[in-house]
Chain A
Amino acid sequence: MTAYGFVLVSGITAGATYAAAGAAFGMVFFVTGRFHFAFGLFYGAAGMVTAWSASFLGWPVPLSILFGLVVGTLGGVGTELFVYRALDRRAAGLTLLGVFVASLGLVVAGEATMGLIFDQLPTFNVTLVPADGWRVDGIAIPYISATEFGVCWVLLVSLFLVTSRTHLGRQMRAVEANPELAANFGINPKRVILIVFAIISLVGAALGILEAGAVTASPAMGDSIIIYAIVVAFLGRGRSILTVGLIGEALGIVEALVGYQFGQLLQSLVVFVILFIFVVGVAYVPVMRRVRLRRRTAF
């Protein structure tokens, strides 16, 4: 029972991270139409510089966190300003593919550059909260897990409030629905897109810093989160951010339970199986609807 409890705690913690990353990735993908694969790069960069400045340079942790947030946010905003918009200008018809390829290139180049700057196999640690935790009915709840969970849900609720309760959120949804029409109503789609990049990059940076505090920071630490973010974003498409949060949590719990029951190998497969079922389901439902309609009209 205690083992299951611990698995559940780790699943909920990981799920909260997947949820926040998925909400952020979904926001940038659906509002701006950019397949921002480099989200993971700036997640990693924020974690790396925070851990590096705290452990190697000896900066106070709050200052290191601020540094990480600034680096991650500016990285994302800079990518939109100087890479994606340049692609827009030169090959407007190929933006989706162009952004994806450019984003992938940025990840490869960015991780290699971090490797060069911070040495060959750099790993750094930062202590965000004390290493111990609470114990409830024999189940250990580390402070860092509680912090991760709390921060992720604060981010999710904030994103939810911004998108659903503010004029900026309405502008985002207007740009998502029809950027040309949005311009007819005095909304500057480019400005809205830049704000979306700033928001999601800040969320990504915060998540990267949390991971650097929970495990160890390394240049490639954003490689796996982006896969989870994509899965959660697509599963949660058209739903509210709070529902996206629950989808992320469900994914984290299922993944942790499968890992506990069947081992690490199957655990890493779970996310792909869920994505596969979803993709097949999305393709299958309209086909079945057509078949049923044909049968009905045949009689």
Chain B
Amino acid sequence: MTAAADLPAGPPFLQVVDVTAGYRGRAAIRGISIDVGQGEAVGIIGHNGAGKTTLLKTVFGIIPPSSGHIMFRDKVQPADPLANIRDGLALVPADRFVFASLSVRDNLQIARRNALNAAVADESEQASRELFPVVWERMGQLAGSLSGGERRMLSIAMALMWQPSLLLLDEPSVGLAPELAERVFDALKFLTQSRGMSILCVEQNLPHLLGIVDRVYIIRDGLLAGEETAASLLERDDYWDLF
């Protein structure tokens, strides 16, 4: 694993400090501590059931930590998604990430309500329109009738509506054809590099993930097993031992 000195330094934006969380008294993650700098993209990898999604849900406030705490912009984060949205967080889940029975327009309208004001919403809408033009061509369609890639783009466009400063993504490439996954990751790269948005991304597809992140945390059986820079991971021939 890479030494901490090799890792990019920056002001901690998100700090997860010794967090234990889970479901109905059973801890799915234990004593996890990670951080994300401002404008930094960080990946989380691990085997199925390692606790990656639980970690994202805990950061977003859906699951309250049983111990430890989460700091975002030097403030302790409450276990309240609405408060966290107002503070600048957005979560795109791994599955069922759009309201399938609602139109694309209604999906975007729901997300739009979280923007600070109409100007912010309009600006975000314009940016998303440029990133994912296909979504805006399908406004009247039911979201459930879109292709997997279009739905994924819609979900990210929805999350961008309130200009979050930290985007939490859970397996954005899952179920997508390689070229569609590439388009999604190109968009994410644009968001971090051009707009300074921080990203915390859970992803199994390492080549895609390493194209956008600076660092990767490895989670195994609910515990933090290590941390590596993207550069060091790119030098590897295989990644089997990481999972």
Contact = CB atoms under 8 A, between A and B. Distances in A.
Contact of B81 (A173, A177, A178, A186): A186
A41 to B, nearest CB: 30
A171 B106 CA distance: 10
A177 B98 CA distance: 9
Interface string B75-115: 00000011001100001010011111110001001110110
A55 to B, nearest CB: 46
Contacts of B85: 185-186
Name, among B97, B110, B114, the residue most crowded by chain A CB atoms within 10 Å (CB to CB). B110
A170 interface: yes
Interface in A145-191: 167, 170-171, 173-174, 176-178, 180-188
A178 B96 contact: yes
Contacts of B158: 185
A90 to B, nearest CB: 13
B72 interface: no
B60 interface: yes
Contacts of A176: 101
A173 B93 contact: no
Contact of B93 (A170, A171, A181, A188): A181
B184 to A, nearest CB: 18
A284 B113 CA distance: 42
B123 to A, nearest CB: 19
B60 A184 contact: yes
B146 interface: no
A170 B109 contact: yes
Contacts of B114: 185-186
B96 A185 contact: no
A170 B81 contact: no
Contacts of B110: 170-171, 174, 182, 185, 187
Interface residues of A, number: 17
Contacts of A187: 110
B206 interface: no
B101 A177 contact: yes
B233 interface: no
Name, among A170, A176, A181, A185, the residue most crowded by chain B CB atoms within 10 Å (CB to CB). A185
B34 interface: no
Nearest to B143: A177
Does more than half of chain A's interface fall in helix, strand or loop, or is it mixed?
A: helix
B102 A177 contact: yes
Contacts of B96: 178, 180-181
Nearest to B91: A184
Contacts of B17: none
Contacts of A171: 110
A95 B60 CA distance: 26
A185 B114 CA distance: 7
Interface in A51-68: none
A177 B110 CA distance: 13
B180 interface: no
A181 B81 CA distance: 11
Contacts of B102: 170, 173-174, 177
Contacts of B97: 181
Given A184-B60, A187-B110, A174 B82 contact: no
A92 to B, nearest CB: 9
A186 B99 contact: no
B62 interface: yes
A176 B81 CA distance: 19
Given A173-B106, A180-B62, 10 more contacts: A173-B99, A173-B101, A174-B106, A176-B101, A178-B96, A181-B96, A185-B111, A185-B158, A186-B81, A186-B86
Pairs A-B, 8 closest by C-beta atoms: A177-B99, A186-B82, A186-B85, A177-B101, A186-B114, A184-B91, A174-B99, A183-B81
27 contacts: A167-B113, A170-B102, A170-B106, A173-B102, A173-B106, A174-B99, A174-B102, A174-B106, A174-B110, A178-B99, A178-B100, A180-B62, A180-B96, A181-B97, A181-B99, A182-B110, A183-B62, A184-B60, A184-B91, A185-B85, A185-B110, A185-B111, A185-B113, A185-B114, A186-B82, A186-B85, A186-B114
